[in-house]
Structure 1
Amino acid sequence: MSLIFRTLLVFLFMTSPIWAQMPQPPAEPMQAEAGVEDLIRLLENETTRNQLIERLRSAEPPSAAEAAEESFEPTIARQIAEYTRNIAESASDTVAAAVDLTAEIGEVVARSTSQDYAQFLRAMTNVVVLALVLLVGFFLLRAVATRIERALGARASGRRWLPRIVAAVIALIIDAGAVLAAWAMGYAVSLYFLGGPTGSMGINQTLLLNAFLVVEATKVLLRLVLQPSNASLRFAAMSDTTAAYWYFWASRLVGLIGYSFMFFAPIVADGVSLAAAQALRVLAMLTALVIGVLIILQNKTAVRRALKWRAENGRHDALSRTLALIGAYWHILAIAYLVAIFVVWLANPEEALPFMLGATVQSILSVLVGVLIISFISRFIHVGVRLPDDVKARLPLLEARLHAFVPRVMQVVRTVVLIGIVIAIAQAWGLIDFLGWAASETGQRVTGSVLSALIILLVGFVIYLALSSWVEYRLNPNFGTVPTAREKTLLSLFRNASTIALAVFVVMLALAQVGINIAPLLAGAGVLGLAIGFGAQKFVQDIITGIFIQLENIMNEGDVVEAGGKSGVVEKLTIRSVSIRSLDGTLHLIPFSSVDMVSNSMKGFSFHMAEIGVAYDSDINNVRTAMHEAFDHLMETDFKDSVLEPLEMHGITLFGDSAITVRARIKTAPGAQWALGRKYNELIKDAFDRHGIEIPFPQVTYHMADPNAGDILPKPRRQVAQGSDVSDRPTVDHPES
């Protein structure tokens, strides 16, 4: 209870400037103009006569000091004090009116005559008869309407949302028609059966009919939203028990406040006094306050669990943390708000209460609209962007790129929506005047600048997306013309350079729109570039060398090159470096400043050099025939499309220690020489085996001494170079290279 009390004090302190800015009416309840009879009754009542005399005596002109004091704007402490005084006076008047209510009723009864009793009984009888007619007629009409609505719900059950909306609208029309029919029936009974020969209605009957129409029309709206007895037409996500629970309490509160303010209080004000009517209103509002507090306490745990659901399920964004914080203390805030509504109504019902109710409605609408937008954005973030299959086939990276950027943009939009909800609530309660500031010259300039910057960023993102998608489409070999290695290199460089240039350009324009002078930034960029040029000579050398390498078109992505002492496949080319993947899978990043020579094995065409060693006693013509035969077999395989020219037979190129080298050359497409060469070597081995051509190997000759002769006799024996066992049969020793 102490926590609730402290929260109420803080709430009253925060909202006191709003209440203090409103014109404060006098604390006395007698404000409406009274007729002659009311004035006579007022003067006849001793209590009210004394109050009027005291009020007239207190209405003295202010002194000069008081006038000077009132000319100054009151401080916050003075405003709080004045407002607290008004609350205390209103509460005191209400309590006094409730205490004097019995005495006033006794005085009225004592002054009443038999004629007054007859008139009173006749009026009450007419009101009771009218109430019974309304009750019975509305009960019968509602029974018929309920059966029709259930039939509509049964037909719309399980169907799409459009038939359900149509059925709900028809049910609304039928329900409202039942209320209007009962109201019209009551008017007819009052005019033609209870009005007497003149056909006139009493004011009490009119009050009852008007209260009935307002209360039941409000209940029609509640039934439309909650649908307590027709689940198929209910669009809100709640069970039948929950819908019936909320409709029960909401309808009771509407009936209590509606009939108390629109029927019973006017009758008491006319028949007893205005103070008694005010006491009745206070009793009704106090009862509604107690019911509201009980409802809040009953649903404290369920609402807290619902608000903490996002945080308990692993979501840790700003919205989840905010909802979890609200869920921990929502019941205290709700009770404080209801108490504040009651206190404000007591102090200033004509000005402060409409303001608070209007601000409450605007806040609820702002929250509902914001929740709908945030829910759509959150669903869009989690579901993601799904592109058609043909678009994904043409642009495989577009969906991944959208998944990388769009959720972040949506998170920014969701944050902006949250800020907008807070601003709308603050605007509704008068804490800030955002609309007035936005309409001012400064506000228009700031909002225009921010919107312009956001539009520039959005346009820049669209341009980036379009450029990247176009480059991706051109690099896709499945659509359009197949890009060459040169096109791949230039398109990749164009994508990188355009992205950097576009980012710098968009950021500069956005900063210029928000009022930042970009001239010093441009000048600073020039000075920084000059400093980098002097201080980072290696970097400048990388870029200059890279530019000339690109202009000379010496290598492209996918080429097999040797640069900077490393050989392999070019995987990536930038303006300052090249990434080479070697045969063992190692990726080498080589700056162009360290490249003094580039050897490209895939420029234009390639050659496979077939250098075959044969024995000295081999027939060279037979060797040529075998090599041509192997080439003919090669042209019968899948490698024939990679061969550009017939076999070039160069002949004997080297006399080695143990072999004669015969060389031939095959001109191939760029990059095909390695696989083609391996296949050609296999075919040569088969051809040599068929023709009996020996492929020699390194051998050594040594001499053994004859132990009987006493001298050394040369007996040549052959052995492998590794020193294996001596054998009369020659063995092969493969060299290391």
Structure 2
Amino acid sequence: MRLLSRLLFVVFLTFSAPALAQEVAAPAVSTDQAAEELIRILEDDTARAALIERLKQTAPEAVEETPEVITDFSIARRLAEYTRSVAEGASGTVRALGGVFVNFQQAFSGALSADYAGLRELLINLVTVAIGLFGSFLILRLIANAIIARLAQRALNQRGFRRFGSIGMALLIDAVTVVLAWALGYILALNAGTYPNGQMGINQTLLLNAFLIVELSKLVIRTVLAPRFTALRLLPVGDDNAAYWSFWSSHILSLLGYTFLFISPMLTGIISVSAAAAVQVLVMATTITIGIIIVLQNKDDVRNWLAEVSARRNHDGLGRLVASVGHHWHVLAIAYLLALLVVWFANPDEALPFMLGATAQSLIAVAVGSLIITFISRFVTVGLRLPDDVRNRLPLLETRLQAFVPGVMTVVRWLVIGCILVSIGQIWGLFNFVDWIASDEGLYVAGSIVSAALIVLVAIILHVVVASWVEYRLNTQTGKMPTPREKTLLNLFKNAFSIALAIFGTMLALAQIGVNIAPLLAGAGVVGLAIGFGAQKLVQDIITGIFIQFENVMNEGDAVEVAGRSGVVEKLTIRSVTIRDMTGTIHLIPFSSVDQVSNMVRGFSFYVAEFEVAYDSDIEAVKKTMRDAFDGLMETDHSAVILDDLDLPGLIALTPASMKLRARIKTLAGKQWGPGRFYSETVKRLFAERGIRTPTPRVSYVPGASGLIEADPAAS
């Protein structure tokens, strides 16, 4: 009783101490007094019940102990746990429904130690499942290859969707072999080995799941490369390359897959984490070494292939970039592989998955960008074809677009390359482009660039539209015939509009990207003033050209005489005129050198015909002959351009040797030379027929002492 009293006293002090501490100015209590108080409480039924109730309220709740759960499983081990539970549940259900139980005795029993017995049990179960799994897969693969060989034989003569149908059928057959072998392995694991029927070990599940994942991954390689069946190959590579890459990629997949999905988790469970880590290090080092060897073996082949790609692109900007990558790609690849190994050594749990995921995403970004660039390149190569009616109305539009579209597509192609690089930088965490573009600064920069690009694009479209409209107005095959004045003014308008559009478009684009154009405008004014003082001749050219255009003195196509040069105006600008003379020579004459313009095709024209006849000729007969020649001219096709009757002033001059007569033929502007030549030929023929002599000089030799020679110009 004394021992019990002391025990209750200790309990009382433990649970009543907090309450006693909260009382204000409580007097000190001795040990004897506390004991007497405790005895009094125990003897009093009401006080004792109150103490028990208080002890129940202040006692800590009992915590149910739970078994320790291992939570640091890898993904492969967690997947194995899940699939094992699913398989065991399915097996139990089948056995409950069917009522069929198959009993197997343990292969080993006796006085063996627990560790050795566990290892023996593990080996027996794994060997049993492995033999059944890989043996069944080998047999199924032999059957599948025979069927796929027939499909490949039929696919030799197939094209398009039928060929892709054969490839899909071969893929399905190959996938069925993998799944069937995996299912047979599960059935064997549930019904064989040392475990009770319907149960299987975690390591068997690891092996089966590793087999399924690795073989399905290798299935993708077999489908793409098809090393044994050329007709079913998706990639356009040769048999040697297909066999080479299929061999190495399959072996690397098997090495990495079975190590990280089966061997490493198994060693973690039966030996230690250190043993599993050692195997992983060895396998990773081996894989990186194999990768470096593959890179070095294919260094020249990849470089030559990229050089051919650059040559097909005529060594343009992108082609030179591809060729440069071809010269150094092996260095980049080896550096990447070594970095991958170092990163895995440093932080295999986080860094390696990040690096592999970033690599896969980068490859996807490059593949998508390459498809877009290939489409753009084919679009540029094929070119732009306009309908026939549009081409007839605007003959130069197709040529202009074919020159304009490749430039735009080149810009778009480089933009795609820039997007690929930005995506790769975002994936690898070199910079956070998404957050930056979402910020105020990023939105401002992006908006400025897009606005500037839209201004340039609109300027280019306006140039094409105005140039096409001018071309349409000048096209003689559609609409009304343009006048020379329209030709001149429209060409001048097109040139002036293009210059103004280029200047204003550039200024607005610079303003959008944040360039202060006020100093540029002020500088342009100062430069223009300096040019005005320093290039007075140029200013004189422009001012004279403006007045010439205002006065409409000449237009393109006019026959003029300018600065001592005669010919047809081929080009007329605000500064100069281009004339082609009768010999085909081009003369560029600045307007500052023009002090007189003689236009021979304005309004109407005259052909002035002058003939000289001998003094003894009858003037009336000569004039009648000239009229008869004009009548003959009017009976020809030249009459369509003749505007009036023959203007025959008659005798206009007497020379010492002849009489000169003149006639004029009024024609359309610039059409006087054809009728004039025909008229002159007719007059010459009629003069000969009617005996009208022209004053041909005749030399007479008169013998004399002096031997002088006398010339009689009027002699006949």
Taking structure 1 as the reference length, the TM-score comes to: 0.75
For 1:521, the aligned partner's letter is: L
- How much has 1:507 moved relative to structure 2? 0.7
Query: Alignment partner of 2:430: what SS?
Result: coil
Inter-CA distance 471–141: structure 2 relative to 1 (3 Å threshold): farther
Distance in 2, Cα, partners of 1:698 & 1:547: 52
Contact 2:647/2:664 (8 A) holds in 1 = yes
Equivalent residue number for residue 228 of structure 1 = 227
Partner of 2:371: 372
Q: Which residue does the alignment assign to 2:343?
A: 344
User: CA contact under 8 A between 2:559 and 2:566: conserved in structure 1?
Assistant: yes
Partner of 1:333: 332
**1:325-376 residue CA offsets vs partner (Å, 9 max, x unmatched):** 4333433332332222222222210111112112222332233333334444
Which of 691, 704, 711 is the aligned partner of 1:719?
711
Shift in CA distance, 655/353, structure 1 to aligned 2, threshold 3 Å? same
Q: 1:474 to 1:141 in 2, by over 3 A?
A: farther
For 1:622, the equivalent position in structure 2 comes to 621
Stretch of structure 1 that moved more, 303-312 or 127-136? 303-312
Contact kept, 8 Å, 2:313 with 2:319, in 1: the verdict is: no
Query: Which secondary structure does the structure 2 equivalent of 1:608 belong to?
Result: strand
Q: Does 1:594 align with 2:593?
A: yes
**Cα deviation, residue 528, structure 1:** 4.2
Deviations 1:408-464 (A, max 9, x none): 444444444444433333333222233332222112211221121112111211211
Deviation at 1:618, TM superposition (A): 2.3
- 1:487 Cα deviation after fit: 1.6
Alpha-carbon displacement from aligned partner over 1:257-295 (angstroms, at most 9, x marks no partner): 111111122222222222112222222222222322222
For 2:442 and 2:151, the matched residues in 1 are separated by: 52
1:500 shift after superposition: 0.7
Equivalent pair of 2:570/2:578 in contact (CA under 8 Å): yes
> Which has the higher mean CA deviation after the structures are superposed, 453-462 or 589-598?
589-598
Tell me the percent identity. 53
In structure 2, what is the equivalent of residue 54 of structure 1?
none
Query: Per-residue displacement from partner, 1:490-539 (whole Å, max 9, x unpaired)?
Result: 11111101101111121111011101122333344344445555555544
Letter in 2 for 1:284: V
Task: Report the 3-state secondary structure (helix = DSSP H, G, I; strand = E; otherwise coil) of the residue aligned with 1:579.
Answer: strand
Q: 1:286 to 1:552 in 2, by over 3 A?
A: same
Which residue in the other structure is 1:283 paired with?
A: 282
Equivalent pair of 2:124/2:193 in contact (CA under 8 Å): no
Deviation track 1:673-726 (CA, whole Å, cap 9, x = no partner) reads 122211211111112222222122346899887x8xxxx9xxx996377xxxxx
Assess if the C-alpha contact under 8 Å between 2:617 and 2:692 holds in 1.
Answer: yes
Q: 1:620 to 1:147 in 2, by over 3 A?
A: farther
The answer on whether the counterparts of 1:718 and 1:730 sit within 8 Å (CA) in structure 2 is no
Alignment of 1:36-115 (within 5 A): 113=112
Partner letter of residue 190 of structure 2?
A: L
Distance 1:504 1:349, change over 3 A: same
Helix, strand or coil at the partner of 2:334: helix
* Distance change >3 Å, CA 502–CA 144, structure 1 → 2: farther
Pair 194,462 (structure 1): closer, same or farther in 2 beyond 3 Å: farther
In structure 1, C-alpha distance between the alignment counterparts of 2:481 and 2:467, rounded to whole Å: 18
Q: List per-residue Cα deviations over 1:469-507 (Å, max 9, x = no partner).
A: 222232222333332212211111111011011111211
The one-letter code of the counterpart of 2:672 is Q
Contact 1:642–1:668 (8 Å) recurs in 2? yes
Cα distance in 2 between the residues matched to 1:627 and 1:112: 148
Q: 1:632 to 1:221 in 2, by over 3 A?
A: same
User: 1:260 aligns to what?
Assistant: 259
CA distance in 2, matches of 1:160, 1:480: 51
Matches within 5 A, 1:371-450: 371-380=370-379, 384-387=383-386, 391-450=390-449
Q: What is the root-mean-square deviation in Å for CA atoms of aligned residues?
A: 3.5
Aligned partner of 1:251 in structure 2 is 250
Answering whether residue 470 of structure 2 is matched by residue 471 of structure 1, we say: yes
AA at the equivalent of 2:711:
Q
Letter in 2 for 1:340: A
Are 1:672 and 2:671 an aligned pair? Answer: yes
Equivalence for 1:20: none
Quick check: 315-324 or 464-473, which moved more? Answer: 315-324
Distance 1:634 1:476 in 2: 33
**Alpha-carbon distance in structure 2 between the residues aligned to 1:112 and 1:37:** 31
Q: Cα deviation per residue 1:575-628 (whole Å; 9 max; x = unaligned)?
A: 232222222333333333433332211011111112222223223333233223
Structure 1 residues 438 and 169: alpha-carbon distance in aligned structure 2, compared to 1, 3 A threshold: farther
Q: Secondary structure in 1 aligned to 2:606?
A: strand
Q: Does 1:125 align with 2:117?
A: no
CA–CA distance in structure 1, aligned partners of residues 524 and 401 of structure 2? 32
Distance 1:591 1:383, change over 3 A: same
Structure 1 476/298 Cα, relative in aligned 2: closer, same or farther at 3 Å? Answer: same
Q: Residue 567 of structure 2 aligns to a residue in which SS?
A: strand
In structure 2, the residue matched to 1:503 is 502
1:47 maps to what in 2? none
Distance in 1 (CA, whole Å) between partners of 2:666 and 2:193 is 118
**Counterpart secondary structure, 2:569:** strand
Local SS of the residue matching 1:308: helix
| Alpha carbons of structure 1 residues 112 and 417: separation in structure 2 relative to 1, 3 Å | farther
User: Residues 644 and 139 (structure 1 numbering): CA distance in 2 closer, same or farther, change over 3 Å?
Assistant: farther
Give the Cα separation in 2 of the matches to 1:154 and 1:618.
105
> Corresponding residue for 1:4?
none
Q: Give 1:249 shift.
A: 0.8
Distance change (3 Å), C-alpha of 1:36 and 1:556: closer
* Structure 1 CA distance for aligned equivalents of residues 485 and 174 of structure 2: 75
| Contact 1:568-1:582 at 8 Å conserved across structures | yes
Query: Could you tell me how far apart the structure 1 residues matched to 2:486 and 2:477 are?
Result: 15
Aligned residue number for residue 168 of structure 1: 167
Structure 2 residue 659 is the aligned partner of structure 1 residue 660: yes
CA contact (8 A) 1:579 1:589 kept: yes
Q: Distance in 1 between matches of 2:551 and 2:289?
A: 88
User: Which residue identity lines up with residue 442 of structure 2 in the other structure?
Assistant: G
Match of 1:517 in 2: 516
Pair 158,461 (structure 1): closer, same or farther in 2 beyond 3 Å: farther
Single out whichever of 217-226 and 333-342 deviates more from structure 2. 333-342
Match of 1:186 in 2: 185
Equivalent position amino acid for 1:691 in 2: R
Higher RCO (C-alpha 8 Å, min separation 6): 1
Go from structure 1 to structure 2 and tell me whether the alpha carbon gap of 1:330 and 1:699 turns closer, same or farther (over 3 Å shift). Answer: same
Q: Secondary structure at the match of 2:679?
A: helix
TM-score after normalising by structure 2: 0.77
Offset of residue 312 of structure 1: 6.9
Post-superposition offset of 1:242: 0.5
Q: Is 2:582 the partner of 1:606?
A: no
Q: Is the 8 A contact 1:659 1:697 kept in 2?
A: no
Distance across 1 between alignment mates of 2:264 and 2:542: 89
Unmatched segments (≥5 aa) in structure 2? 1-65, 72-109
Change (3 A) 1:258 1:395: same
- What is the aligned partner in structure 1 of residue 241 from structure 2? 242
The structure with more radius of gyration? 2
- The letter for the 2-side match of 1:622 is A
Name the counterpart of 1:208.
207
Q: Is the 8 A contact 1:512 1:518 kept in 2?
A: yes
User: Which whole-Å CA distance do the structure 2 matches of 1:615 and 1:160 have between them?
Assistant: 93
The answer to whether the 8 A contact 2:195-2:201 is kept is no
Determine if contact 1:366/1:425 at 8 Å carries over to the other structure: yes
Which residue of the partner structure matches residue 489 of structure 1? Answer: 488
What is the rounded CA distance, in whole Å, between the counterparts of 2:564 and 2:341 in structure 1? 87
Cα distance, 1:230 vs. partner? 3.0
